[in-house]
Structure 1
């Protein structure tokens, strides 16, 4: 019976995908297949994934004046970004402290992403070869005169082989740091996430070559350089040459010598991994053997969440402007049950009223540290805000079935999950995006609208498409009235006076510049 149930659910999901794709075609939404190699074509066009899905799209094209259609184009752009980021990297060979073959962040167009499947070893993705900011970009002063080039191996840690991945272990509590504890919204610390097997979820941060080149070019690994440029911008706001320089959108002159696949704006990735047990279905995860401590301990880890933040060029009816889009993805089994599969972060039972409201029972685990290194009891996590479109049911007589609206997140998830079968990436879902609001401006004229729009606009100075966007594995304890922009709108370079909070010149939406060092 369990076997038959699995077959039924698979057929139902595929039928739903076919129906949704048909509806999207009727609405004029462009559907492009996830094609794959062999093909040695370079990444050339502004929207290369229409023919080259291994290439990160450099420009977001908004072709519609309809707000829902425009928002759907953001969803499509970020799904294609997710595919390109997870495309297999070209093989890399390291000898000593040099990469003698291959290139970090270069997709391999001769490999099919759909072959990333099964329980065996998987090829490393493009984003997994990006640089970790604290150890590979914001280097200490003694390394400034010999700042490395992009294509050099990761620094060794303990006895691990050179260039092997390392998930940090109690290495610091700073905003957006790779560690065991979750990111926090100052001044409120949040603790670790502990899965149902009693193991820590671990976090990793990586960023692309464009951001590395920006830091190298501007020398913003130096705190004093940031402060001097900020001071010049305040003194002479119109001086764009000597003042503070924002992270790149992709058309900056200092990026012109990058290889075509790397010529896009700033990309910031944050990943969450959980330890996989022998009975876990590896075929449903991007899985890796990773080092988890300074003693070189290795564990089989599965990717459970991925934040993707992009600075990008936006083409709206031929007018090119700089913009941003934040998005978050989860593995489908994080908090929802599937036939024969238990959730990773709850017991599978129905949530209590408190859990429905806040997403957990209210007891946040104690912050993990070297003095408090052992996991505590698991905390059951539930999703407070449904994925847009996932809670819409069909009209009679099929009212027990889900019928997500054609331009919803749930609909585009079905589209790409179908195209990505049978790879491990068919088991990931977009939770949502946060971007400039298509039907702007917002209305704060009455209490109902102010409640709906929440922290957008008056507090952050940023008008976005959603008031609530969280990842259950990355912001497990801040699910109420929380989003990427609420936190990241407070990110500034060093040296910005507090009174300049509403000055958009310094809203860079990344905390990474705070990792810079004093000389």
Structure 2
């Protein structure tokens, strides 16, 4: 899930003045969901069912007049519900633990930890992926610790046209931590619905994609009802950004969701870098969710950040530093570090990333963030989850647009969306240049240049027996 730069020559999207279509009628919104959608003030405890382990299948739309702002609020509420459910405490099999509450017992394993990574699905020899629930580690990581820890790939320029989990869009450059001078690391995860669709249709290798003659349509989430109690959750793709946590360098661990992770660097020729792996404690700093739903076949694109990324956030103890900005630094803002990009290097303070948010979080989203942060902090005053914020949610205002029509991307709102840790260097509001998740992913194709339903994942496929 990567919100990427839009190449020049592609069709521009409309500005912010588009007219939204009426979303599908909501026939299954619960009173709690409706109360949550309409409540814009912080509350000590959420309505029953708001902080829950069930991943929402689609947004619930309130009965307010369907203005752009009202629909945006409902999609933002959907984003928060998704964030909470995906980060709910997980049982050993990866499913949500219904006997626990997010943040109540401290930090720990969460639901999306069990999702598959692309390197486990698109194997170099084009063979059948490992079964769901089985992890495949790089050789350099296998003897460092217990199985089940995350594998975070290197950060350096992308060596081919496929967008890699290891870096930012189109190789625009790595993001460097202000505290320790190390590169931020990334991972992509796909849920069971996405994995099943790829495997069942043999889309994990080039031959399978060539043989697949239908229009690629990943499963869309549909809210359960009495007529369809087992409605699918839909395809979900996650991209996360992590920084190494080092209290000696000023990090405050209690403000981050943390995991033990294999920080893996693949071999590279520029600069010459051998493969390596080390076990580190890392903290979550960026979190994209792309979710295909019935109301948004162009997918709903939600993006979250840790509150201290570009400036120190709320309730920070004295001495807290921003993760990616230092007012005393003279390094240019939103500029990649100097080459060569070596993921094993520790950059000096005068070469570390200086990041500012180009498009500010709007007031309505800030108010919703304060509400959810208060609820999460009400569960446990030390909960790490109260230190995350929604940047925004992008959704199609014309969801019924045909993939082959004049506006296949469905006129997204807001027009631009960027996460400071995931699209650091392409923030802005210039069409064809700045980050817009839907508009960019509208150009995603399979390895044989067919429309791939707003995901670049399928471009990772290899031939049977190996080779691109």
Contact 1:335 1:343 in 2 (8 A): yes
The answer for the alignment partner of 1:325 in structure 2 is: 300
Measured against aligned partners, the alpha-carbon deviations of 1:354-396 in whole angstroms (never above 9, x if no partner) come to x6xxx52x45433635xx742432021111111011xxxxxxx
Q: Partners of 1:439 and 1:518 in 2: how far apart?
A: 34
Q: Partners of 2:263 and 2:413 in 1: how far apart?
A: 37
Give the Å deviation of 1:110.
1.0
The answer for the alignment partner of 1:143 in structure 2 is: 127
Q: Structure 1 residues 25, 62: CA separation in 2 closer, same or farther (over 3 Å shift)?
A: closer
Instruction: Name the count of aligned residue pairs.
Output: 387
SS at match of 2:79: helix
SS at match of 2:260: strand
Query: Is 2:73 the partner of 1:72?
Result: yes
Within 5 Å, give how 1:405-444 maps onto structure 2: 408-421=364-377, 422=381, 423-437=383-397
More helix, by proportion: 1
Within 5 Å, give how 1:58-457 maps onto structure 2: 58-63=57-62, 64=64, 65-90=66-91, 92=92, 103-104=93-94, 106-117=95-106, 122-134=107-119, 136-141=120-125, 143-144=127-128, 147-155=129-137, 157-158=139-140, 159-160=143-144, 161-169=146-154, 173=159, 175-179=162-166, 181-184=167-170, 189-196=171-178, 197-229=180-212, 232=213, 243-250=214-221, 263-278=232-247, 279-293=250-264, 295-314=276-295, 322=297, 324-338=299-313, 339=316, 340=318, 341-348=320-327, 359-360=333-334, 362=335, 364-366=337-339, 368-369=341-342, 373-376=344-347, 377-389=351-363, 408-421=364-377, 422=381, 423-437=383-397
The answer for the alignment partner of 1:510 in structure 2 is: 455
Give the Å deviation of 1:224.
2.1
Measured against aligned partners, the alpha-carbon deviations of 1:393-427 in whole angstroms (never above 9, x if no partner) come to xxxxxxxxxxxxxxx11111011000011310100
Q: Partners of 1:490 and 1:142 in 2: how far apart?
A: 24
The answer for the alignment partner of 1:41 in structure 2 is: none
Measured against aligned partners, the alpha-carbon deviations of 1:130-151 in whole angstroms (never above 9, x if no partner) come to 11112x212344733xx54312
Q: TM-score, normalised by structure 2?
A: 0.74
Q: Partners of 1:311 and 1:33 in 2: how far apart?
A: 30
Q: Structure 1 residues 62, 164: CA separation in 2 closer, same or farther (over 3 Å shift)?
A: same
Q: Partners of 2:452 and 2:416 in 1: how far apart?
A: 20
RMSD over equivalenced CA pairs, Å? 3.5
Contact 2:309 2:323 in 1 (8 A): yes
Measured against aligned partners, the alpha-carbon deviations of 1:119-139 in whole angstroms (never above 9, x if no partner) come to xxx3111112111112x2123
Q: Structure 1 residues 480, 150: CA separation in 2 closer, same or farther (over 3 Å shift)?
A: same
Higher Cα radius of gyration: 1
The answer for the alignment partner of 1:494 in structure 2 is: 447
The answer for the alignment partner of 1:14 in structure 2 is: none
SS at match of 2:413: coil
Q: Partners of 1:69 and 1:27 in 2: how far apart?
A: 9
Contact 1:438 1:465 in 2 (8 A): no
Q: TM-score, normalised by structure 1?
A: 0.67
Q: Partners of 1:310 and 1:439 in 2: how far apart?
A: 14
Contact 1:167 1:203 in 2 (8 A): yes
Q: Structure 1 residues 415, 439: CA separation in 2 closer, same or farther (over 3 Å shift)?
A: farther
SS at match of 1:308: strand
- Structure with more relative contact order (C-alpha pairs < 8 Å, separation 6 or more): 2
Q: Structure 1 residues 162, 488: CA separation in 2 closer, same or farther (over 3 Å shift)?
A: same
SS at match of 1:297: strand
The answer for the alignment partner of 2:418 in structure 1 is: 470
Q: Partners of 1:155 and 1:304 in 2: how far apart?
A: 23
Relative to structure 2, which stretch is displaced further, 52-61 or 202-211?
A: 52-61
Q: Partners of 1:204 and 1:140 in 2: how far apart?
A: 18
User: Structure 2: where are the runs of 5+ without partners?
Assistant: 1-33, 224-228, 265-274
SS at match of 2:394: strand
Q: Partners of 1:287 and 1:214 in 2: how far apart?
A: 31
Measured against aligned partners, the alpha-carbon deviations of 1:416-467 in whole angstroms (never above 9, x if no partner) come to 00001131010000001110128999xxxxxxxxxxxxxxx97874301112
Measured against aligned partners, the alpha-carbon deviations of 1:201-244 in whole angstroms (never above 9, x if no partner) come to 11111110111111111110121221232xx4xxxxxxxxxx13
Contact 1:387 1:410 in 2 (8 A): yes
Contact 1:191 1:366 in 2 (8 A): no
Q: Structure 1 residues 178, 496: CA separation in 2 closer, same or farther (over 3 Å shift)?
A: closer
